[in-house]
């Protein structure tokens, strides 16, 4: 298998999993907030973190960038 073939397989897998990755991130929002709160930060920090997580959106990964970075790393 060539480097190009391996990179193509990786991009295909990433593309197939994009929606699953986004859904998983969205489903983990409350867990992220609960764990942050449990760490012991004060109410202001927790409120700011919670607002940020609730308003954030996970855009998914960029397959082109992934391919470039993976290929460069494998050539090291």
Instruction: Give residue limits of the domains in the chain.
Output: 3-74
Quickly tell me which residue has 């990755």 as its tokens.
21
- Give the integer Cα–Cα distance in Å for 27 and 53: 12
- Give the integer Cα–Cα distance in Å for 57 and 5: 32
- Give the integer Cα–Cα distance in Å for 33 and 38: 9
pLDDT in tens, 46-74: 999 999 999 999 988 999 999 999 999 99
pLDDT band at 1 (very low <50, low <70, confident <90, very high): confident
- Give the integer Cα–Cα distance in Å for 21 and 58: 9
pLDDT in tens, 36-47: 999 999 999 999
Give the long-range contacts of residues 23-30, CB within 8 A, separation 24 or more: 25/58, 26/58, 29/53, 29/54
pLDDT at 13: 95
């Amino acid at each position: 298998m060539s480097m190009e073939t391996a990179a193509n397989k990786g991009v295909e897998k990433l593309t197939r999993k994009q929606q699953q990755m986004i859904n998983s991130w969205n489903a983990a929002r409350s867990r992220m907030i609960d764990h942050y709160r449990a760490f012991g930060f004060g109410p202001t920090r927790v409120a700011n973190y919670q607002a940020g997580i609730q308003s954030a959106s996970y855009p998914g990964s960029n397959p082109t960038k992934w391919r470039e970075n993976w290929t460069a790393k494998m050539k090291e």
